[in-house]
Amino acid sequence: MSDIERALDDVSASSAGGAPFLIAFGFTLAVCGVLGLVLPVRTAAIVTLFQGNLALPLAFLLERRLGTRRLAADHPLRPLALQMAMSQIVALPAVLLAFSLHPAYVPAAMAAVGGGHFLPYAWLQRTRIYVFLGVGVSVGALVLSLALRHEAFSPVLFFISACYAAAAPLLLRHARRITARAGAPA
């Protein structure tokens, strides 16, 4: 096994393939979708913009509950993994632009940002699941938004959440298979 394969195994072991993040964010986005059915869309969109403040700690908690271990501070892929994880923040202006045009389009903008964010994870986690998830979430959210226009807010969030729910167990199984082969817990 090469050093890079071993390093990638460590990343998969430390993150459970990213499944905890999909579970946490899928849950909070579904809650925002429900809020979009009962609150004004502008209010629900603001809540959606900040849902990551709950989802991120929840994802880290799920990682720990799955028995993952932290990636060592001196691990060679740690800086790359952190940069990839934080890459979405630079697209925040696009999501804010969508909000200013019409709050109903916030979920589609978030899906496009998230979809692009997922693509490099196909390499990092060594699975095409992230390619299908990224393209599917982005294109699906666009199609729903074009079809439903200003009524797209909650349906797009439910769609994203369903995509995450479908991908999470596949990614978890993939990570467990990789880490079992490498002898590391996932």
Q: Are 116 and 131 in contact (CB under 8 A)?
A: no
The range of the structural domain enclosing residue 52 comes to 3-182
Phi, psi (degrees; rounded to nearest 5) at 122: -60, -40
Half-sphere exposure in the Cβ direction for 151 (13 Å, CA) = 2
Q: How far is CA 182 from CA 121, 163, 185, in A?
A: 19, 29, 9
Helix (H, G, I), strand (E, B) or coil at 105: helix
Percentage of the chain exceeding pLDDT 70: 97
Q: Output the pLDDT for position 104.
A: 98
| Average pLDDT of the residues in 55-70 | 92
Residue-level pLDDT at 59: 96
Least confident of 2-6, 129-133, 135-139, 158-162: 2-6
Helices within the chain (DSSP H only): 3-15, 19-38, 41-50, 52-65, 78-86, 92-101, 106-118, 121-124, 129-148, 153-182
Higher pLDDT, 25 or 6: 25
Q: What are phi and psi of 39, to 5 degrees?
A: -110, 160
Segment 156-165 mean pLDDT: 98
Domains of the chain: total: 1
